[in-house]
Amino acid sequence: MDDIRSFDVKSLRKVKTSVKTVDGRQFVEVRDSKGEPRIVSTPRFDGSMGFVPDLKPDLQVGEVIPGLHIGSQDAAADWCLLQSLAVTHVVNAVATTVPNFHEGRGLTYLALELLDLPDFTLTRDTIHKVCDFIDEALSSGGSVLVHCNAGVSRSCALVLAFLILRRGMDLREALEKARTARPVVRPNDGFLRQLRELQKNMRPSTQSPSS
């Protein structure tokens, strides 16, 4: 017990952790004094994935609130699926690697490029641009699909930001709604930290009722 009382956290060595993401990117990560992850090397791609890939298309789309959906790039590419969901607007969070598949078919796109890295910043401008886009679509009777590559981290982070800012939800409630709609969603630790700060520092900019 005396050893525990006299233990000094400062005596711990900093440990570097090699991380390989599911899409094959590798980088070295350390934790700062607050326990937050920080990348200390340039992400690189070794040409292989960090898992045995399931080559079946992921066409499961989750409707988080009426008219607002989360999905993968597979769902975004499937025209028949989009028609069945009456999708009119698409937020493409990975526009430099995944095209706006059906831009010539009357869908309205918001093209972004977000990196699924813990230290990638979701800027205020990006968040409000997404929120305005979704709000305008829903208020006109439209239906929105928000997608990234896997429909797990980036797309979910954007939807959570919308629910916090425009529907007045706290992060826990918003995340519960998203996971009920699409159980695989899981924003990375850096996105979750930024969403907590968003909830803490910003008031809802619209008094829309929670759906």
- Read off the pLDDT of each residue in 93-120 and give the average, rounded to a whole number: 96
Average pLDDT estimate for 165-169: 95
Is residue 131 among the annotated active site residues?
no
pLDDT score of 45 more than 70: no
pLDDT at 75: 98
Task: Report d(CA 197, CA 119) in Å as an integer.
Answer: 14
Mean local confidence (pLDDT), 184-191? 97
Whole-angstrom distance, CA of residue 46 vs CA of residue 158: 28
Q: Which domains does the chain have, with CATH numbers?
A: 12-54 (no CATH), 62-201 (3.90.190.10)
Report whether pLDDT(121) > 80.
yes
pLDDT of 139 higher than 90: yes
Mean pLDDT (whole number) for 120-134? 97
Catalytic residue among 80, 131, 148, 156: 148
Q: How far apart are CA 55 and CA 134, in angstroms?
A: 31
Model confidence at 17, pLDDT cuts 50, 70, 90, reads confident
Q: Of all helices (H) and strands (E), which one includes residue 162?
A: helix 154-166
- Residue 209: what pLDDT? 46
Task: Report yes or no: 90 and 147 within 8 Å, Cβ to Cβ.
Answer: yes
Give the DSSP H/E element, type plus range, for residue 199. helix 189-201
The Cα 153–Cα 147 span in angstroms is 10
Chain centre to alpha carbon of residue 113: 12
Residue 92: name the closest of 142, 138, 130 by CA.
130
